[in-house]
């Protein structure tokens, strides 16, 4: 039995939309950004107290380092620090950090560890300072160094330009959270009021060799919303933003390096320092609101730095709005709701693989009444197809009358020709959000499922090949995408078969293979979700196929 042309259009619309999601969505995401609410600054100082040794209002006048305490070497020196969360190398070149490694959460065995920055001590580090009208680049100057005297203070750097100014930088590291801080003290040594247009420089190294990770490198800044720019845009023409900025950061897949000063940021500029075609350092400069200091006076500022995973609860705990970086992009807030739902299920399953399966099942259950009703509509459309074709043939010379007769036919059989696509269109935002969320969720990094699937953030890699397949670049047998393709074929077989041309039939037969190529090296958690969608759809379709359609008595044969 043939299918109504309207039904065929709905079916092919579904395919086109799926292609747009899989192929076009990552490109579309680069062009859209989500607004960000404001108003969470009330507790910033409370959190900064933790990093700076419990002093939100410092008596900077009492904290001038003595000349005998500061040692000024002739070449850069390194001071190392390590605790349960960080390994850090401080360099006296610019009073900066030359190596910053997040060691990961102890409970996860360090599987979520990452290196934010790793540079030779003779090269520019991060968290350096510039004073733009000075004739010396302070990021290249040798600072005096003094080790911390205990507590959270790790190291102190000092640079003095005689009869002009003294710059002191003290670093602190939190022992419980992936947080560090810098106190910056500027003292006016001249006999006149001096203006200091200060710039704060930091960066993060990038690697574009993995296409999945390459898309995740971005600069983010909080104004009255979340501003962002991806690595490709910055590498091509740089990035500049002049606005009243609360904080700024650099992010990559799973991780964020965010700087929140108690000082107004008025401008951000960013560029790449390329080491090769695919690697380099993404540097960002924060231009602070200029300050004026009277002769013999000093002013101190604090910089709160988060360097850790993009874990929603952790980011939110600082009450600085850091968690809003997770909402950037299309359907950003909706993506957070899905993440929280998955984490809620995980509390009971203790396995994110099973959490994904249960979440998929729950979604199917929520949309089951709508999907079932839509499927009944489609079966009625199929049963009415001979009547529709007869009307179209008989009244082809009178389109208005044909449309009127078709409307009456659908009305007395209680059929809506557009109902076939409605469930898919309603569920599409969920599919998009899952497609964006699962490859980014740090919760899946290192999360095992069953048997050979040891990490839901990576392809499942059932078997490693002793060679690489030419053109495709595959070096392993990934089973989950293969069974996903099989399930897609199975689902197509259970669907009522439309009357299509040979070319359309070939396209339909090729679609599962096409999706299989796209998903082959995607995170196994995402492919697992797609596979379970197919399996639950097949089970539902078996029941749909048993529905007996009863037409209006005027239209029964």
DSSP string, 387-401: HHHHHHHHTTT-HHH
3-state secondary structure 214-262: HCCCEEEEECCCEEEEEHHHHHHHCEEEEEEECEEEEEECCEEEEEEEC
pLDDT for position 512: 81
pLDDT of residue 35: 37
Q: What pLDDT shows up at residue 10?
A: 43
Rounded CA-CA distance 444/385 in Å is 47
Buried b (16+ CB within 10 A) or exposed e, 197-221: ebbbbbbbbbebeeebebbbbbbbb
pLDDT of the residue at 356: 92
Domains (range + CATH), the chain? 5-26+347-555 (no CATH), 33-328 (2.70.98.90)
The parts of the chain modelled with pLDDT lower than 50 are: 1-17, 19, 21-57, 60-62, 66-69
pLDDT digits (tens, 9 = 90+) for 277-316: 678 899 999 999 999 999 999 999 999 999 999 999 999 9
* CB of 51 closer than 8 Å to CB of 174: yes
For 56, the 3-state DSSP assignment is coil
Q: What pLDDT, on the 0 to 100 scale, is given for residue 303? A: 96
Residue holding tokens 């190398």?
89
Residue pair 527/519 in contact by the 8 Å Cβ criterion = yes
Question: What does the pLDDT read at residue 295?
Answer: 93
Half-sphere exposure of 70 (CA within 13 A, CB side): 20
pLDDT at position 270: 93
- Distance between CA atoms of 481 and 192, rounded to whole angstroms? 70
Residue 87: predicted pLDDT: 94
* Residue 112, token pair as written in the block: 């979520």
The tens digit of pLDDT for each residue in 141-173 reads: 999 998 875 566 789 999 999 999 999 999 999
Question: Chain-centre distance of CA 89, in angstroms?
Answer: 28
């Amino acid at each position: 039995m043939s299918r109504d042309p309207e039904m065929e259009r709905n079916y092919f619309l579904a395919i086109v939309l799926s292609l747009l999601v899989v192929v076009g969505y990552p490109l579309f995401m680069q062009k859209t950004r989500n607004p960000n609410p404001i108003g969470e600054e009330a507790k910033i100082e409370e959190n900064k107290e933790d990093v700076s040794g419990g002093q939100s209002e410092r008596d900077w006048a009492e904290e001038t380092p003595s000349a005998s305490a500061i040692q000024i070497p002739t070449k850069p020196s390194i001071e190392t620090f390590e605790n349960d969360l960080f390994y850090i190398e401080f360099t006296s070149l610019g009073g900066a950090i030359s190596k910053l490694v997040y060691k990961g959460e102890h409970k996860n065995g360090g599987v979520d560890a990452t290196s934010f920055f790793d540079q030779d001590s003779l090269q520019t580090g991060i968290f350096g300072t510039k004073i733009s009208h000075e004739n010396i680049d302070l990021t290249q100057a040798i600072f005096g160094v003094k080790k911390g005297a205990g507590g959270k203070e790790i190291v102190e750097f000092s640079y003095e330009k005689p009869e002009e100014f003294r710059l002191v930088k003290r670093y602190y590291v939190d022992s419980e959270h992936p947080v560090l801080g810098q106190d910056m003290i500027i003292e006016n040594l001249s006999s006149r009021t001096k203006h200091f247009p200060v710039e704060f420089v930091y960066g993060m190294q990038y690697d574009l060799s993995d296409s999945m990770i390459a898309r995740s490198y971005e600069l983010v800044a909080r104004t009255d919303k979340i501003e962002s720019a991806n690595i490709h845009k910055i590498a091509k023409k740089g990035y500049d933003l002049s606005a009243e900025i609360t904080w700024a950061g650099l992010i990559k897949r799973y991780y964020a390096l965010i700087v929140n000063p108690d000082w107004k940021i008025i401008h951000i500029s960013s560029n790449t320092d390329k080491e090769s075609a695919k690697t380099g350092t993404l540097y960002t400069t924060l231009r602070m609101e200029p300050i004026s200091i009277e002769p013999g006076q000093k002013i101190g500022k604090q910089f709160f730095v988060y360097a850790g995973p993009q874990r929603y609860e952790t980011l939110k705990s600082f009450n600085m709005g850091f968690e809003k970086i997770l909402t950037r992009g299309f359907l950003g807030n909706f993506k957070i709701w899905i993440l929280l739902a998955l984490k809620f299920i995980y509390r009971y399953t203790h396995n994110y693989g099973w959490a994904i399966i249960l979440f998929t099942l729950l979604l199917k259950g929520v949309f089951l009444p709508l999907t079932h009703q839509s499927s009944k509509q489609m079966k009625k459309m199929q049963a009415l197809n001979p009547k529709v074709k007869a009307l179209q043939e008989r009244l082809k010379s009178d389109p208005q009358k044909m449309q009127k007769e078709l409307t009456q036919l659908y009305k007395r059989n209680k059929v809506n020709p557009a109902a076939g696509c409605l469930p898919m269109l309603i569920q599409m935002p969920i599919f998009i959000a899952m497609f964006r969320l699962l490859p980014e969720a740090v919760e899946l990094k290192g999360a095992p499922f069953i048997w050979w699937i040891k990490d839901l953030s990576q392809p499942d890699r059932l078997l490693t090949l002793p060679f690489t397949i030419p053109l495709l670049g595959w070096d392993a047998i990934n089973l989950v995408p293969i069974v996903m393709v099989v399930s897609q074929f199975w689902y197509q077989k259970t669907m009522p078969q439309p009357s299509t041309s040979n070319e359309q039939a070939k396209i339909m037969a090729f679609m599962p293979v096409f999706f299989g190529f796209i998903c082959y090296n995607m995170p196994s958690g995402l492919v697992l979700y797609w596979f379970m969608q197919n399996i639950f759809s097949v089970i539902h379709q078996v029941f749909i196929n048993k529905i007996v359609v009863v037409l209006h008595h005027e239209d029964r044969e």
